[in-house]
Amino acid sequence: MTRRTGVRRLIGVALAAAVVPAAALVGRAFREPHDDMRDASGEDFEETYRGRHIRGTRGQVSMTSAHLGRKSGQRSGRWDVTVDGRPLHLMRRADGSYLSMVDHYQSYPTPLAATRGAVDELGDQMLRRPAR
């Protein structure tokens, strides 16, 4: 093998190592886009995704919100989400997107999409139980 052939092979391996992870991220970002927007209207969701039971409901108005003028019984912007019955904390970002504590480097357009992203990141692992 000549030096030129060795350098070409090395460059090919380096390019493949750089392109494959980027392609995986792009593919993940475009998975099932029509389903992710299903809950854009703010409706509760419950489904089985990749063998995990995920459920999300809008939280009720807290006492603090009631003092600020919201009526009791109205729904707040907070989501109560569980994966296999264990709580998953979601946070809403300033731009209106959501992120989870499992996958906090990626933003998602809806709570359902954020929950699915967390399930993707968890793989076979389970969320920990809440502290008592």
The string of pLDDT tens digits covering residues 82-125 is 999 999 999 998 898 999 988 888 899 999 999 999 999 988 88
At residue 103, the pLDDT reads 80
In terms of Cβ atoms closer than 10 Å to its own Cβ (0-12, 13-18, 19+), residue 108 is buried
In terms of Cβ atoms closer than 10 Å to its own Cβ (0-12, 13-18, 19+), residue 118 is buried
In angstroms, the first-to-last Cα distance of the chain is 65
Question: What's the rounded Cα separation, in Å, for the pair 53 and 102?
Answer: 16
Q: What is the pTM of this model?
A: 0.59
Tell which residue, 61, 59, 19, 26, has the closest CA to residue 42. 59
Identify the residue whose tokens are 């707040």: 76
At residue 34, the pLDDT reads 45
**Average of pLDDT values for 55-80?**
64
DSSP helix/strand/coil, 85 = coil
At residue 118, the pLDDT reads 92
Question: What's the rounded Cα separation, in Å, for the pair 107 and 96?
Answer: 10
